[in-house]
Amino acid sequence: MKISTKIQLYSSLFLSIMLVLLSIIVLFAFLWISVEREEDLLEDQASLIEESIMEKDLTADDAGLLEAYTPDDAMVRIFGTDGTLIKKFADDEDLLGLGVRSVSEKGYDFTKVDGDYVLTYRHPYPDEGKKLGMIEITQPQDTLLDHLTTLALVLAGASLFVILLSVVAGKWLARLILKPLSIMSGTMLDIEKSGEFKRIPLAGQSKDELQVMGESFNRMIVRLERNYDQQQQFLSDASHELKTPITVIESYSSLLKRWGMKDAAIQEEAVEAIHHEAIRMKRLTEHLLQAASQAGPSADMEEKIELIPFCEQIAQTLRRTGNRDIELQSEVKEIHAKTIPGQLEQVLVILLDNAMKYSDGKIQIKIKQQSDKIFISVKDHGPGISPEHLPHVFERFYRVDSSRARKTGGNGLGLSIARSLVESFDGTLDIESELGKGTEVTIILSHQILI
Ligand code: ADP
């Protein structure tokens, strides 16, 4: 069943039940109030007759006197203490057929006389011997029942009208609610069929839930599109990067095949070039894998480390392997930090590797602490990066000087990997550089200090 039909059906059904209940309550309330009123009137009339019996001895008088006390269309009967009928007067002849009931208590009765409902009130009165006699007034209730029927008809008509109105309103409401939803599902189907990133057309300025839902769907599509574009860009950049070393390897291996076996010089040159490119490719694939793994959350756990010896150990390894002068300076003696050691080490290695690749002199690692922040910077005194390149160095595959990068083995992935690693543990990466003076890259870690 369609949602619009469901909304229409359930709302009309609910409304109908409510209206039926309301009509029943109104009818009962009307009946109860009317009967109460009738009973009060009959009781007043009976009290009046009782007073007259006391004053004028109504029982002894002629029938004409009782007529004056009989309400329109009603019947009055007076019984003695032994239950014998003393006197009666009926405005409506039909009522005379009402049977005599030997009841001596005050009370009301609803009975049927010749198919019509009548209300009978019995009112005991004290006779001379202080024994109780009975005044009985009977009043037909056809007017009350007529009113009740009219009211029931009016209620039924009004309810039917409201239900019909609710069916129309339900249809309109369902269309109002479902229109944006059907536009959304149409757009989604379009996306599914065409594979294009489409946005939902949002016309209204209202801030209702559907508008909010549409806006967040559009934001999600923008993000997906950006991710997809980045992925495509990454793929084409990566294949482009791999193409150069593969071409070099292919051409040198062809050279080897043709003449290399006889010429020792060509053999040496080709093997050297193939080896160099193979290492470059290995490094590139390692970086590509690292960059791809940044997309997902890290499975590594945070650990408590003593930061200064941790950095010193990394510096020591690189001093030995790179044969470079790496100095570590710290403004504080001890910093206990909670971080993911594997990832922090990766970042430091990338920064030190860059400093070693792009400079010849001394490299400095500086550690300082300011309130809840830790600053670890790697500074070199190399050629620096010009201001127009500086904002782009964190982009994937961005290299300031690609011909130089080829010689140094750079592929433009190091800083982008370093930045996403630092961001994964809530830090930031900052770079400052001046042409001819050197470059300083700083890792800023927040809320990771343990006292
Ligand atoms: P790569 O693998 O090419 O070094 P990075 O992302 O680490 O890739 O760096 C991007 C570019 O930024 C490099 O190609 C290089 O030109 C420049 N760069 C990075 N670090 C330094 C540095 N310490 N000194 C000078 N240039 C640097």
Span 392-439, pLDDT tens digits: 999 888 888 766 555 666 778 889 889 988 988 788 999 999 999 999
Checking if the pLDDT of 206 tops 80, the result is no
Q: Which atom of ligand 1 is nearest to the CA of 413?
A: 6
Checking if the pLDDT of 294 tops 70, the result is no
Whole-prediction pTM: 0.52
Mean pLDDT of 224-246: 82
306 pLDDT tier (thresholds 50, 70, 90): very high
Task: Output the residue whose Cα is nearest ligand 1's atom 14.
Answer: 399
CATH class, domain 209-293, is: mainly alpha
Q: Choose which residue among 285, 393, 420, 439 to substitute to test ligand 1 binding: the one with the highest number of ligand atoms within 8 A of its C-beta.
A: 393
Domain boundaries, the chain: 3-149, 209-293, 303-450
Share of the chain above pLDDT 70, in %: 90
Give pLDDT, residue 250. 92
Cα–ligand 1 centroid distance for 288 (angstroms): 16
> What's the CATH number for 3-149?
3.30.450.20
Give pLDDT, residue 297. 52
173 lines ligand 1 (CB under 6 A): no
398 lines ligand 1 (CB under 6 A): yes
237 lines ligand 1 (CB under 6 A): no
Share of the chain above pLDDT 90, in %: 35
378 lines ligand 1 (CB under 6 A): no
284 lines ligand 1 (CB under 6 A): no
Cα–ligand 1 centroid distance for 445 (angstroms): 22
Cα–ligand 1 centroid distance for 395 (angstroms): 11
Mean pLDDT of 48-63: 71
52 lines ligand 1 (CB under 6 A): no
Give pLDDT, residue 106. 82
Give pLDDT, residue 115. 80
Token pair of 441 as six digits: 């890259």
Residue partners of 344: CB distance under 8 A and separation at least 6 = 310, 421, 425, 443
Residue 1 C-alpha from the chain's centroid: 25
Across the chain, mean pLDDT equals 85
Q: Which atom of ligand 1 is nearest to the CA of 355?
A: 23
pLDDT tens per residue, range 61-104 = 566 677 888 888 889 988 877 778 888 888 877 787 777 766 66
413 lines ligand 1 (CB under 6 A): yes
* Greater pLDDT, 444 or 8: 444
Least confident piece of the model among 153-162, 175-184, 231-240, 249-258: 231-240
Give pLDDT, residue 61. 57
Tell me which architecture the domain covering 303-450 has in CATH.
2-Layer Sandwich (3.30)
Give pLDDT, residue 296. 52
Q: 38-46: which pairs have CB atoms within 8 A and are 24 or more residues apart?
A: 38/119, 38/139, 38/141, 38/144, 39/108, 39/119, 39/121, 41/71, 42/71, 42/108, 42/119, 42/121, 42/137, 42/139, 43/121, 43/123, 45/69, 45/71, 45/137, 46/121, 46/123, 46/135, 46/137
The residue written with tokens 């229109």 in the block is 179
7 pLDDT tier (thresholds 50, 70, 90): confident
378 pLDDT tier (thresholds 50, 70, 90): very high
Mean pLDDT of 5-14: 86
Checking if the pLDDT of 155 tops 90, the result is yes
Give pLDDT, residue 12. 87
Mean pLDDT of 38-50: 90
Task: Output the residue whose Cα is nearest ligand 1's atom 2.
Answer: 410
Please say whether the beta carbons of 412 and 397 come within 8 A. Answer: yes
Mean pLDDT of 126-131: 64
Cα–ligand 1 centroid distance for 267 (angstroms): 33
Give pLDDT, residue 450. 67
416 lines ligand 1 (CB under 6 A): yes
Checking if the pLDDT of 122 tops 60, the result is yes
390 lines ligand 1 (CB under 6 A): no
326 lines ligand 1 (CB under 6 A): no
Give pLDDT, residue 104. 67
Task: Output the residue whose Cα is nearest ligand 1's atom 20.
Answer: 354
Token pair of 40 as six digits: 């009060």
Integer Cα distance of 417 and 295 in angstroms: 10
Checking if the pLDDT of 343 tops 70, the result is yes
Give pLDDT, residue 388. 93
394 lines ligand 1 (CB under 6 A): no
60 pLDDT tier (thresholds 50, 70, 90): low
